[in-house]
Chain A
């Protein structure tokens, strides 16, 4: 009786076991992918057909519907990654560390996307692909932090040491992200005054709506991709376990 009561109250922790979470992630990922596709379709429709042409920037501004979601997710995912890395470090749960490993490449991709789309936006509006603007620079440094995390994970052969060492790095990075962000902001404002960047004017309501829908679309995309990647990471880590070999042979 007590045994069942305990297992009931802890039922959600069942998914801390890699094979259980492997199945859960496999079941959840398509739903998030479908959600992402639906939201992206709505968001892009709103963005390209409903939102008006900007008075100052023309149609170029429409890159915002990818640019802003990517930039937000890049920052957000770092904190999520640091959170799961910290949980893995404190509670010694393998799955949390694997989740952190799975988040890192998507976070790096989002930071790179934000920089890339920003460059294509900057060229027609600012006349240059790159300026040492506060936001650009702090996103670049965020990308470096992601790459450092990935490099550390890749450099350590012993998997559990890689989990824990990278968790310490992610936590140190998470403490530093706000400090870096504000120091870069201050550095820039000291040097060249306010930037010519976007967001200085009021946004039309339909533009804002399209952007927010796209933020959710990118969010769902990130969740779907991270769940798919964490399945691969789990299989790779558990490759000597019986269940993982059964899954692999069933798939091949």
Chain B
């Protein structure tokens, strides 16, 4: 079983490395969206410091949604996905490995880039550290829940917008606790509770979501 995990993980990461542009575009999109906000609300540092965690998190959600088609659409188009379903290896494990690869290719770069925003918006070391920690703990849940939407809308017309509509309401808890943790630290409180819940969301999603994704893939491909 671990051989399956490593094989799928290695393949997806290799593909991601070969198509570096895709990852770069997601990260660039994240950067550009956050950079748009000061232009909209004005350059006042105090205001920006106040809203920075929220807008970084919203931008992370949007970037996660935009990166979802990478997850299954290419494999669906060239028939790889059907081969994966036919391998006889548990589909839940394959799906989990694919989500892990997706997170390593998109969630992790976004998390690392968030540290830059800590500097740009003058958040201070402590707040920046928590911002990065929330994204590190929360983005796995974004990949997993997003994969549910991606597998349900596989091969549909207008799939991109539909995925956003299906998945964004499911992202609400991660958004609340992610941005909330940063707010708490900025306000002088402990972020421990938020971070624990965020970790729990990701762990819970990694247990439950693969079953839903596997079921959805079987439905989409039958």
Contacts and interface: CB of A to CB of B under 8 A. Distances in A.
A168 B176 contact: no
Contact of B153 (A155, A175, A176): A155
A187 B212 contact: no
B216 A179 contact: no
Contacts, number: 72
Interface stretch (B11-19, B32-40, B155-163): B155-163
Nearest to B149: A169
Interface in B140-176: 148, 152-153, 156-159, 162, 165-166, 168-170, 172-173, 176
Q: How large is the interface on A (under 10, 10 to 19, 20 to 34, 35 or more residues)?
A: 20 to 34
B152 A141 contact: no
Contacts of A161: 219-220, 222
B180 interface: yes
The majority secondary structure among interface residues of chain A is helix
Interface residues of B, number: 29
A171 to B, nearest CB: 7
B24 interface: no
Contact of B162 (A144, A155, A168): A155
Given A148-B165, A152-B152, A184 B172 contact: yes
A180 interface: yes
Nearest to A182: B173
B152 A180 contact: no
B169 A180 contact: yes
Contact of B168 (A144, A164, A175, A186): A144
A203 interface: no
Contact of B180 (A164, A176, A190): A190
Given A145-B169, A155-B159, A176-B173, 4 more contacts: A89-B215, A168-B152, A168-B212, A179-B173
Across the A-B interface, give the 10 residue pairs with the lowest CB-CB distance, nearest first: A183-B173, A187-B176, A144-B169, A148-B166, A164-B219, A183-B176, A165-B152, A168-B216, A148-B165, A141-B169
Interface of A: 89, 141, 144-145, 147-148, 151-152, 155-156, 161, 164-165, 168-169, 171-173, 175-176, 179-180, 183-184, 186-187, 190
10 contacts: A144-B165, A144-B168, A144-B169, A151-B162, A155-B156, A155-B157, A176-B173, A180-B169, A183-B197, A184-B172
Interface of B: 148, 152-153, 156-159, 162, 165-166, 168-170, 172-173, 176-177, 180, 184, 197, 201, 208-209, 212, 215-216, 219-220, 222
